[in-house]
Amino acid sequence: DAGITQSPRHKVTETGTPVTLRCHQTENHRYMYWYRQDPGHGLRLIHYSYGVKDTDKGEVSDGYSVSRSKTEDFLLTLESATSSQTSVYFCAIRPDRGPYEKLFFGSGTQLSVL
Amino acid sequence: DAKTTQPPSMDCAEGRAANLPCNHSTISGNEYVYWYRQIHSQGPQYIIHGLKNNETNEMASLIITEDRKSSTLILPHATLRDTAVYYCIVSPRGGYQKVTFGTGTKLQVIP
């Protein structure tokens, strides 16, 4: 599973509050990704990172920011959460070596914005 | 990046082969076909990938048509644990930066 840990696993918050989700990996791979999953939309890419301080936007980046100050951590922040951001959030990594064609996913964070 | 089309759902009897189709008619020459699956609410899991030749591993077989416009994932002897959503995506090798996983095919394996 490439040592991926997402935290928290579940979170309930109120509209307008800031929320930060954390993705932690133990193997120092460069590429990390944040996805959201909603019924009828599949998995959509929010942001990705290809190294420390190197990030780029995905398909649905509006309302989200990310930071990567250490190789092992990729943070996803909702500056002011909205109900439309209620979703399941998955982090993924792509190994730098070995099976670099594969994505390995975390267990997900269920976020509810009330 | 090329998009894919999959049937929303399929049923398969336990012990029989499950054949999951995927259409990717706009695939580019450098794009691979990847298959992932998602069991219940877990994170997706890689199954197999290929460029133009048929591929087989311990989980499944991948058949890609000669024109590469479609492919079929084959689970040779489906079990109840294979009940999942199966995603077909196309991407340059290891290049997931512009990839979106669609809604996939919900495979229900029936006892």
Per residue in B3-35, pLDDT tens?
A: 899 999 999 999 999 999 999 999 999 899 999
- Whether A27 and chain B come into contact, CB under 8 Å, resolves to no
Asked whether residue B2 carries a pLDDT value surpassing 80, the answer given is no
Inter-chain residue contact A101 with B93, CB threshold 8 Å: yes
Q: pLDDT-derived band of residue A8, with 50, 70 and 90 as boundaries?
A: very high
DSSP helix/strand/coil, A6: strand
How far apart CA A30 and CA A78 sit, in angstroms, is: 23
What's the rounded Cα separation, in Å, for the pair A58 and A35?
A: 9
Tell whether B87 lies on the interface with A, counting CB pairs under 8 A. yes
Q: Which pLDDT band, with edges at 50, 70 and 90, does A2 fall under?
A: low
Give the model's confidence band at B1: pLDDT under 50 very low, under 70 low, under 90 confident, else very high: low
Residue B32, pLDDT score: 92
B36 to chain A, any CB pair closer than 8 A? The answer is: yes
Give pLDDT, residue B5: 94
Q: Are A5 and A58 in contact (CB under 8 A)?
A: no
What is the rounded radius of gyration, in angstroms, for the C-alpha atoms of chain A?
Answer: 13
- Among all residues of chain B, which has the CA nearest to that of A100? B94
> Among positive and negative, which fits the CA dihedral B87, B90, B94, B96?
negative
Cβ-defined contact of B103 to A59 (cutoff 8 Å) = no
Residue A101, pLDDT > 90, answer: no
Nearest residue to B3 (alpha-carbon basis) of B96, B88, B84? B88
Q: β-strand B105-110 against B9-13: which pairing, if any?
A: parallel
pLDDT over threshold 90, residue B49: yes
Q: Does B92 touch chain A (CB under 8 A)?
A: no
The partner residue sitting opposite A105, judged by closest CB among B44, B98, B99, is B44
**What is the tally of helices (H) and strands (E) in chain B?**
0, 9
> How far apart, in whole angstroms, are the C-alpha atoms of residue B40 and residue B33?
23
CA gap A44, A64 in Å, rounded: 13
Percentage of chain B beyond pLDDT 70 is 98
> What are the φ and ψ backbone dihedral angles of B81, each rounded to 5 degrees?
-70, -10
Residue A48 pLDDT > 90:
yes
Q: How confident is the model at residue B75 (pLDDT cuts 50, 70, 90)?
A: very high
Number of residues written out for chain A: 114
* B12/chain A closest Cα distance in angstroms: 22
| Residue B82 pLDDT level (bands cut at 50, 70, 90) | very high
Can you say how many angstroms the Cα of residue B77 is from the centroid of all Cα atoms in its chain? 16
pLDDT of residue B98: 78
The reply to whether B100 touches chain A by the CB within 8 Å rule is: yes
